Amino acid sequence: VDWNSISPRLEDDADLVKNTTQRIVAKALGAMENYYEYDDFGKPSHTKDGTYPLRANYEEGYNLSLTDDGDVAFRISAAPYKHVKGVLEGSDAHLDLLKTALTGDEWKVSTSETLWRDGEPELHVNIRNTKQTVRDKQDSRMVVGVDVNEDNVALTALSTDGVEDTLVIDFPEIKFERHRYFTMRKRVQNAGKDSMHDTLEGREERFVRDRLHKVSRHIVEWSQQFERSCIVFEDLKEMRDSIDYGTRMNRRLHHLPFRALQFYTSYKASFEGIPTGWINPEYTSQRCPMCGHTERANRNKKRFKCKDCEHQDHSDRGASVNIAV
């Protein structure tokens, strides 16, 4: 296939804005090159049947803006004189990040892709930093281990000389408010006033999000005091799939904002040029940071006592040391 001759014809014949057509052709060429370089010819290509993603430049093929209600409005103008517009829906964490890029000077919105996933339309937006780059995590002199728990987050700064400093940030109000709003929603449901359910849920999410932003900002500011630091988390993506401790405990654990706090901290750290890393969480809360002995009986709530060397510590602080190690 002579793509050099086909590309100009596609740009001329496609009923799309010209720069949008150029972006789509470039993506198609990249997918073909990747297929020929990495895929086995006897196997199906990763380019599936169906609608191909629509790639567009910001302020050429699509636009974003903030509404008076604080939402993010979109306008996609792929074809000349035709456009689709509406309000973006998504996780609070991603929308907050997008709003930061739309209102700040350092972060800028760039290309996007519109695609279908599991029957639902999605808009994937790229954001780039115009002033600062994130340092390579291999070029770090200090590792900050972060252990996120139900009512606190424990931090440990570790260098080649050992533990430099530790900090435990408590936030019991999140757990308390989660339970309070759950009780209120159940009472409203039992009273047949379902219209108030979404209102209460919205208030709860705003409260939790506000607290998580403050805690994540504290984590990043604390990490900034160390030269060339790298923030490290436990990879908890699969944690919810393995939770099965009964109805009440499952509800509590499924509502814990582990991933949200990690995400907020990660993107705030990237704003400051601080890299982040992820480790396997296996045994981090049961291993003794002094002798390495691992046993479930080492930990009893917030008290850690090693059965082997008898080292004692705050259990979450000890877990943050293991994460950093």
Q: What is the distance between the alpha carbons of residues 174 and 180, in angstroms, rounded to a whole number?
A: 10
Q: What is the distance between the alpha carbons of residues 250 and 240, in angstroms, rounded to a whole number?
A: 9
Query: Nearest-5° angle of CA 232, CA 138, CA 223?
Result: 40
Query: Which pLDDT belongs to residue 232?
Result: 96
Average pLDDT over residues 14-33: 69
Query: Which pLDDT belongs to residue 168?
Result: 94
pLDDT tens across 186-199, in order? 787 777 776 666 67
- Domains detected in the chain: 3-129 (no CATH), 137-324 (3.30.420.140)
Q: Which residues contact 38 (CB under 8 A, 6 or more apart)?
A: none
pLDDT tens across 30-72, in order? 666 666 655 444 444 444 556 677 888 888 888 999 999 889 9
First-to-last C-alpha distance (Å) of the chain: 53
pLDDT at 12 exceeding the cut of 70: no
Average pLDDT over residues 154-165: 95
Nearest CA to 225 out of 167, 170, 139 is that of: 167
Of 5-19, 92-106, 117-131, 279-293, give the range with the top mean pLDDT.
279-293
User: Residue 99 is encoded by which pair of tokens?
Assistant: 């709003």
pLDDT at 215 exceeding the cut of 80: yes
Percent of the chain with pLDDT over 70: 77
Query: Which pLDDT belongs to residue 169?
Result: 94
Q: Is the dihedral of CA 104, 107, 109, 114 positive or negative?
A: negative
Q: What is the distance between the alpha carbons of residues 23 and 14, in angstroms, rounded to a whole number?
A: 12
CA atoms within 13 A on the CB side of 127: 20
pLDDT tens across 245-287, in order? 555 555 555 556 778 889 889 988 988 889 999 999 888 988 9
Average pLDDT over residues 281-294: 89
The 3 state secondary structure assigned to the chain is CCHHHHHHHHHHHCCCCHHHHHHHHHHHHHHHHHHHHHCCCCCCCCCCCCCCCEEECECCCEEEEECCCCCEEEEECCCCCCCEEEECCCCHHHHHHHHHHHHCCCEEEEEEEEEEECCEEEEEEEEEECCCCCCCHHHCCEEEEEEECCCEEEEEEEECCEEEEEEEEECHHHHHHHHHHHHHHHHHHHCCCHHHHHHHHHHHHHHHHHHHHHHHHHHHHHHHCCCCEEEEEECCCCCHHHCCCCHHHHHHHHCCCHHHHHHHHHHHHHHCCCCEEEECCCCCCCECCCCCCECHHHEECCEEECCCCCCEEEHHHHHHHHHHC
Stronger pLDDT, 257 or 103, i.e. the higher one: 103
Query: Which pLDDT belongs to residue 296?
Result: 82
**Contact of 114 with 123, CB cutoff 8 Å:** yes
Q: What is the distance between the alpha carbons of residues 203 and 210, in angstroms, rounded to a whole number?
A: 11
Query: Which pLDDT belongs to residue 45?
Result: 44
Percent of the chain with pLDDT over 90: 29
Q: In which band, very low, low, confident or very high, does the pLDDT at 135 lie, cut at 50, 70 and 90?
A: confident
Query: Which pLDDT belongs to residue 56?
Result: 84
Strands 229-234 and 142-148: parallel
Q: Which residues contact 99 (CB under 8 A, 6 or more apart)?
A: 66, 70, 72
